[in-house]
Amino acid sequence: MSRICFFDTKPYDKIYFDMFKDKFGFEIDYFEPKLNADTAIMARGYEVVVAFVNDTIDAKTIDILYNEGVRLIAMRCAGYNNIDFKAAYGKIHVVRVPAYSPYAVAEHAMALLLTLNRKIHRAYNRTKEHNFSLNGLTGFDLYGKTIGVIGTGKIGRVFIDICKGFGMKVLAYDPYPVKDVGIHYVDLDELCRESDIISLHCPLTKETKHMIKKETIQQMKKGIYIINTSRGALIDSEALLNAIKEEQVGGAVLDVYEEETEFFYEDLSGEIIKDDILSGLISMPNVIVTSHQAFLTREALNKIAEITLQNIKEYFSNAGLANEICYQCIKLSNCEKTDKNRCF
Ligand code: NAD
């Protein structure tokens, strides 16, 4: 039986991976710390590590993992902006779970929008205190409003369908538009100018980092709502906080935050949060922050566990790696795979 090690373990990870480990014939050693250059040494003696979105898989971490004998990093997520692929290339294969449930993320985005707009977060607290006043809880009909969707991949398209179900007008921007699916594409400037609500569904890359910044926010309608369930650094958080204070932005719902690695997934309820921007955002009545939980449904956790372990099985059985990704796959989309269908 092959042994693999698992970083940044939470109780719900264990439940779903334990359900599948016998089927694939693995022993899993679960570690609580996040994977980074300080903890990578824990992987000594393992050929495979399972990692997640807030692990720091930079050149230093990769060097240590490689020297300790690791040859496969199995990401149990779709995103991969936390990996230095150039450092890994030729040394450690990287696989991921490209799709597990676009519905989980898209539905969470809509849940956040409905909560923000109809002030459910405030109403919940009020009625718990037997405060049945409605003052300050006025929302607006989503029906007939214009929503701008940035990124029309798997999640963006499910989100668009949900919005259409609400009778919203959808504008979309994607440098690689999908043909014949009835999506009305416009350029990013028009989307920013015309939308009442904007939702981000594109990956974090060098090009998309801070795509929502002071200048873009200034182009938007006063009172715009912004939804981010993609990656925190798509938004310049300081510019967002300022725009909320200035009431240019009418509300923001954030499942991700650019400096989330230090905070998200941990219970820090007794601690001082030394990040004034995060604290500032959380303190606003019209900002809702969830802790990168959009993926967290039973269906998604099932698929994540099954596909991750399938990816690892392919590695151990010397088969092609269907879900491998390297810097060439990302940059050029024309990685010349080996005869074995591996990136190197
Ligand atoms: P996807 O690869 O199917 O779609 C991404 C889309 O973004 C593609 O159509 C691509 O062409 C487009 N895109 C690329 N560059 C762009 C740009 N500059 N501007 C606009 N669009 C651009 O990915 P997906 O499965 O739909 O996931 C989208 C993002 O959601 C992921 O990158 C990930 O960061 C995030 N995500 C978050 C969670 C969560 O729990 N919050 C879970 C899964 C995924």
Query: What CATH number is associated with residue 50?
Result: 3.40.50.720
- Considering the domain boundaries, does residue 337 fall inside one? no
For ligand 1, whether the C-beta of 43 sits within 6 Å is no
Pair (81, 109) in one structural domain? no
**Is 339 inside any structural domain?**
no
Same structural domain, 69 and 109:
no
How far is CA 149 from each of CA 111, 128, 164, 167, 237, rounded to the nearest angstrom?
16, 35, 12, 15, 19
User: What single-letter DSSP state applies at residue 164?
Assistant: H
- How many other C-beta atoms lie within 10 A of the C-beta of residue 309? 23
Do 265 and 307 lie in one domain? The reply is: no
DSSP states of 255-272 as a string?
Answer: S--TTGGGTTTS--TTS-
Question: Distance between CA 250 and CA 220 in Å, rounded?
Answer: 11
Ligand 1 pocket, residue 202 CB under 6 Å: yes
CB-based burial of residue 31 (10 Å sphere; 0-12 exposed, 13-18 middle, 19+ buried)?
middle
CA 135 to chain centre: 35
Q: Look-up: residue for tokens 């820090």?
A: 268
Q: What's the pTM value of the predicted model, to 2 decimals?
A: 0.94
By residue range, what is the domain housing residue 141? Answer: 102-289
The tens place of each residue's pLDDT in the chain, 344 residues long, gives 789 999 999 999 999 999 999 999 999 999 999 999 999 999 999 999 999 999 999 999 999 999 999 999 999 999 899 999 999 999 999 999 999 999 999 999 999 999 999 999 999 999 999 999 999 999 999 999 999 999 999 999 999 999 999 999 999 999 999 998 899 999 999 999 999 999 999 999 999 999 999 999 999 999 999 999 999 999 999 999 999 999 999 999 999 999 999 999 999 999 999 999 999 999 999 999 999 999 999 999 999 999 999 999 999 999 999 999 998 888 766 788 888 889 99
- Shared-domain flag, residues 264 and 158: yes
Q: Say what the pLDDT of residue 337 is.
A: 86
**Among 12, 155, 264, 293, which residue has the most ligand 1 atoms within 8 Å of its CB, making it the best to mutate?**
155
Pocket test for ligand 1, best of 54, 107, 192, 201 (most atoms within 8 A of CB): 201
Q: What is the pLDDT of residue 22?
A: 93
Residues 110 and 246 in one domain: yes
Q: How far is 187 from 313, CA to CA, in rounded Å? A: 43
* pLDDT score of 332: 63
Question: Is residue 139 located within the same domain as residue 261?
Answer: yes
Catalytic one among 108, 157, 201, 260? Answer: 260
Assess if residue 142 is contained within a domain. yes
Q: Give yes or no: residues 195 and 258 share one domain.
A: yes
pLDDT of residue 329: 87
> Which of 174, 198, 258, 264 best tests ligand 1's pocket when mutated (most atoms within 8 Å of CB)?
174
State phi, psi for 146 to the nearest 5 degrees. -100, 125
**How far apart are the C-alpha atoms of 123 and 59, rounded to whole Å?**
47
Which domain-ending residue is among 239, 255, 289? 289
| Same domain assignment for residues 28 and 171 | no
Q: Tokens 């999640």 correspond to what residue?
A: 155
Q: Phi and psi at residue 278, in whole multiples of 5°?
A: -60, -45
Is 260 one of the catalytic residues?
A: yes
Q: Are both 127 and 234 inside the same structural domain?
A: yes
Residue listed under structure tokens 């016998």: 22
Q: Are 185 and 135 in contact (CB under 8 A)?
A: no
Query: Would 71 be classed as within a structural domain?
Result: yes
Q: Is the same domain home to 69 and 150? A: no
Q: Is residue 240 domain-resident?
A: yes
The verdict on whether 107 is a catalytic residue reads no
For residue 143 and ligand 1, the question of a CB distance below 6 A is answered with no
Please identify, by atom number, the ligand 1 atom nearest to the C-alpha of residue 207. 18
Task: Examine the residue annotation and report whether 231 is marked as an active-site residue of this protein.
Answer: yes
The answer to whether 321 and 74 have CB atoms below 8 angstroms apart is no
Buried b (16+ CB within 10 A) or exposed e, 172-201: bbbeeeeeeeebeeeeeeebbeebbbbbbb
Let me know if residue 324 belongs to a domain. yes
* Ligand 1: residue whose CA is nearest its atom 3: 153
Identified catalytic residue from 157, 292, 306, 324 = 292
| 197 and 137 both lie in a single domain | yes
Residues 109 and 251 grouped into a single domain? yes
